[in-house]
Every structure is written in C-alpha cells, then in structure tokens.
C-alpha cells in the first residue's frame, strides 16, 4: 500500500526560513550592502560614544568643577573683569577698551582709558588654580542710567567643589577696586544741621611725614587702632564706646596735621566743627556730634577760643563775650550726655591747655591727652633726613642739628618745614642759611 507524503503548504515556516536564508545570502554577497551596514554600525558606535562622553562630562563637571556666572547688571562685573585682565596667563590680545571722560572743577577735561578682557575665552591663574573665563554678549538689551547696553555675562570655571574659592576671589577683586577708587582724605564741614563734603578729597598724607618726638606717633597709632577694634570689649563691660583726645602745645607743632595723617592711615574721614561759629547752638551741636558720618573723626579745633576756664578771670573779659551761642553745659552734654552716640572719636586741639575748664578735659570726655612740643634734636635730624633724603653716612643732618642748637631758641616744626621749602633742592643752602629761621621769631 502506497504511503502518502503530505505536500508542502505554501507559506509554511520552512518556506519562510528558506526565503530569509536566501535573502541573507544575497545581501551578504552584495558589496554595497556590506559597506552601508559597516557605516551604520560605525555611526551607531560613534553616537553611543558621544552620548557616553556627554554624560561623563556632565557628571565630571557637577562633581569636580564649580562655575560662577556674573552679568553686567551686578556691581562686581567691572571689578571682576579688571581683576582677570591683570592676571591673564596668556597675555591675551583680545581686549575691549573702556574710556571715560571727566571734567574737573577747574574745567580741565581728563581722559581715562582702561582695557578689559574681550569677548571670548580667556585663561588665568589665581591661588595656583587655572580658571577658564568665557565672556559672552547676548542679544538682549538692558537699560542702565538711561543708556541701552547689551546684556553680557562672564562665566568662570575651575576644578574644585568649594564655593569659598570664588567668594574669596570676588572679595579680593572688590578690595582691589575699592583701593584703586579711593580718592583721598574726605573732609566734612557742618552746614546747617548736617555734614556736607567740603571741596574735593585731599591726597592722603603719610603718617610718617608728621615728625613727632620719640615714640609719640607709634603710641597714638596703637591707641587708635586698639580702640577701633574693641567694640565688643566696650559692649561686654557696659562702657560707652567713645574716645576723646586732647592735643595741646605751641602753634605749628603738628596737632592738626597729625589728626589728618592718622585719619588717612586708618581710612577715616574728617569732620571739622568750629565752636565759635555764631549760628551754632546747643541743639545743633548735639545733633552734629551724634550724626557724624560712619568711619569719621570729629575735630574741635582751638577749643580754648570758644570756652575758657570758669576759674580764669579773663573769662569775663569783653573779648570773650558773644563768641558763640553754644553754652558750656551744652558742650559737656554733647560730649558725654545720655543721648550721645556710640562709636565716636573726638579730637580737641588747643594752644593753651591752661585756659580749659577741668570739667571739659576730665576722663570720660578726654581719654588721652598728648603734648605736641617744639622740635627736639631728634625731630630736627629726622625732618632734615626725610626732607632731603640724605644717605645715612651724610653728616649734613648732624651739622644742621648742631647749628640750630647753638642758637638756644626753640623752633616749631612748621617753621623748620617753611625753611626747607625755601631750599627744596639745596640741603647745603638750608644749612648755610639757618640764621634766616630765627629772624622771623
């Protein structure tokens, strides 16, 4: 009996397998397909590697790098650019100019040109770290002082994870900017019930330029520095945080000059107040002494001209009547009354300390008294050497001291300085014409 063999049904799995096998063999033998498949594989691999690199880069930047972004709406922006420009490690030639035109009060026009890092990428080193800087200008426009300015950003990137690094750098750049912007010693004058800047800031005076006897200068500097750094000490002990100084001595001995130099040395401004001003009364005096600008010292010059001792018979002399509307009790209350402001430094100067009432210069109102005398031999030597920059092996200074001492007459530092100014570039002339100093005495 014959065996029936089932015929293959079209579309069966065996037929499909045969079809795909045949297709694979044909494609595999096709060189164009092989090349395309290879390129596709390379593309997929490159895409995978690129994506992996992006993820790795993002992870690395987040974990091991810090970024700081500052825009030109921030006050620190110009400081930071200037800070970067001074430390550019590549000495970049990609710069942008910043030009300002200023007209002085005299009418003279002054031009100032500075350079800042241009737009693009820069590198510099700070505290042994390389920092990448990217300065970009956006299409966005901002309004500043009525002027439309393109919006800009500067982005700083460096290795590390502590934000204190960038904070320290910003503080450093701000300090440099403030130091460069300091214009000098600011003088305030009382106008009505308020303090108003008087003229333009003066050039700061080096405290070493005021020659005092012995260690007086060092002692006063140390005393001032100790006071301004002792606010917590005063508060803990319930002591009013105020300091009063009395400088007394003959005219021309450097009392006012030293106060200005001391204020300049510590970055303080100076407030001048004349007690003999006819429009000044007790209320206005009290208000002014208690509203002095921060970081300033108040100077009451020639206080003996406004108030004399109540025990002095000359106090009733007509010449002393009507000099001021300020009463003596009003001054005392303004100096240390209940309503007195804290953190105040007051200087009083006088040529005649014996005329001052003891109540005015008692402790609490005057904490330190310092005598400013005429020039001693040490002061003469130091003034001559400083003024003429004499070398240490020169004996001109010693000859000057010896010849002045022979006259047995005291001279004020102001008189000696005036003599030096008559012979600015001629120390020998200053030595030979010493007798001229004594003719005006």
CB-based burial label for 350 (10 Å; 0-12, 13-18, 19+): buried
User: Could you tell me the two tokens for 269?
Assistant: 């401004």
- Supply 357's token pair: 């009432």
User: Alpha-carbon torsion 15, 16, 22, 26, what sign?
Assistant: positive
Residue 246 confidence (pLDDT): 96
Evaluate the CA torsion angle 48, 50, 51, 55 in order and state its sign.
positive
Phi, psi (rounded to 5 degrees) for 148: -80, 125
Beta bridge partners of 187: 270
Give residue 28's pLDDT.
64
How far is Cα 240 from Cα 341, in angstroms, rounded to an integer? 9
Token pair in block for residue 100: 């300002």
> What global pTM score does this model have?
0.65
Q: What are the Cα distances from residue 209, in Å, to 98, 175, 204, 382?
A: 36, 26, 11, 10
Q: Are 365 and 248 in contact (CB under 8 A)?
A: no
Tokens of 288: 């002014």
DSSP SS3 for 103: strand
Domains of the chain: 65-181 (no CATH), 187-371 (3.40.50.300), 377-439 (no CATH)
Provide the b/e sequence for 392-403 (b: ≥16 CB within 10 Å).
eeeebbebbbee
Distance CA 67, CA 55 (A): 18
Contact assessment for residue 209 and residue 333, using Cβ atoms and an 8 Å cutoff: no
**β 269-273/187-191 pair status:** parallel
Contact 349/299 with Cβ under 8 angstroms? Answer: yes
Q: Rounded to whole angstroms, how far apart are CA atoms 333 and 177? A: 41
pLDDT at 347: 97
Helices (H) and strands (E) in the chain, counts: 14, 13
Nearest CA among 320, 258, 263 for reference residue 292? 263
| Cβ atoms 190, 170 nearer than 8 A | no
Q: What is the pLDDT of residues 97-124, one digit of tens each?
A: 767 666 555 556 677 776 777 788 888 8
The C-alpha angle with vertex 359 and arms to 353 and 363, in degrees rounded to 5, equals 85
Q: Are 173 and 83 a contacting pair, CB within 8 Å?
A: yes
Looking at residue 370, its pLDDT comes to 96
- What residue ranges of the chain have pLDDT lower than 50? 1-2, 4-7, 9, 310, 316-323
């Amino acid at each position: 009996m014959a065996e029936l063999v089932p015929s293959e049904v079209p579309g069966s799995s065996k037929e499909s397998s045969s079809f795909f096998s045949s297709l694979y063999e044909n494609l595999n033998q096709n060189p164009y397909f092989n090349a395309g498949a290879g390129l596709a594989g390379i593309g997929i691999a490159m895409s995978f590697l690129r994506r992996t690199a992006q993820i790795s880069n993002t992870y690395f930047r987040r974990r091991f790098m810090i970024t700081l972004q500052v825009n030109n709406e921030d006050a620190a922006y110009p400081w930071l650019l200037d800070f970067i420009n001074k430390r550019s490690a590549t000495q970049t030639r990609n710069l942008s100019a910043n030009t300002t035109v200023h007209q002085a009060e005299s009418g003279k026009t002054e031009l100032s040109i500075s350079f800042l890092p241009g737009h693009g990428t820069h590198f510099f080193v700070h505290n042994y770290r390389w920092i990448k800087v990217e300065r970009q200008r956006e299409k966005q426009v901002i309004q500043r002082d009525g002027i439309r300015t393109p919006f800009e950003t500067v982005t700083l990137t460096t290795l590390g994870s502590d934000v204190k690094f960038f904070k320290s750098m910003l503080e450093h750049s701000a300090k440099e900017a403030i130091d460069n912007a300091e214009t000098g010693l600011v003088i305030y004058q009382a106008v009505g019930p308020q303090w108003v800047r008087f003229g333009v800031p003066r050039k700061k005076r080096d405290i070493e330029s005021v020659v005092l006897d012995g260690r007086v200068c060092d002692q006063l500097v140390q005393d001032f520095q100790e006071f301004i750094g002792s606010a917590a000490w005063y508060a803990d002990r319930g002591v009013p945080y105020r300091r009063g100084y009395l400088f007394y001595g003959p005219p021309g001995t450097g009392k006012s000059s030293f106060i200005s130099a001391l204020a300049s040395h510590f970055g303080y401004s100076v407030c001048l107040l004349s007690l003999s001003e006819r429009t000044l009364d007790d209320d206005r005096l009290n208000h002014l002494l208690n509203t002095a600008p921060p970081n300033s010292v108040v100077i009451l010059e020639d206080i003996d001209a406004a108030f004399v001792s109540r025990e002095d018979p000359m106090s009733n002399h007509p010449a002393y009547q009507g000099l001021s509307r300020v009463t003596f009790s009003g001054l005392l209350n303004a100096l240390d009354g209940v309503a007195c402001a804290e953190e105040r430094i007051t200087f009083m100067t006088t040529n005649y300390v014996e005329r001052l009432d003891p109540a005015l210069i008692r402790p609490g109102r005057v904490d330190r008294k310092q005598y400013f005398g005429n020039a001693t031999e040490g002061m003469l030597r130091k003034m001559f050497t400083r003024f003429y920059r004499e070398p240490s092996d020169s004996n001109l200074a010693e000859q000057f001291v010896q010849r002045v001492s022979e006259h047995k007459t005291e001279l004020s530092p102001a008189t000696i300085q005036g003599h030096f100014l008559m012979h600015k570039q001629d120390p020998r002339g200053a030595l030979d014409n010493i007798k001229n100093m004594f003719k005006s005495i």
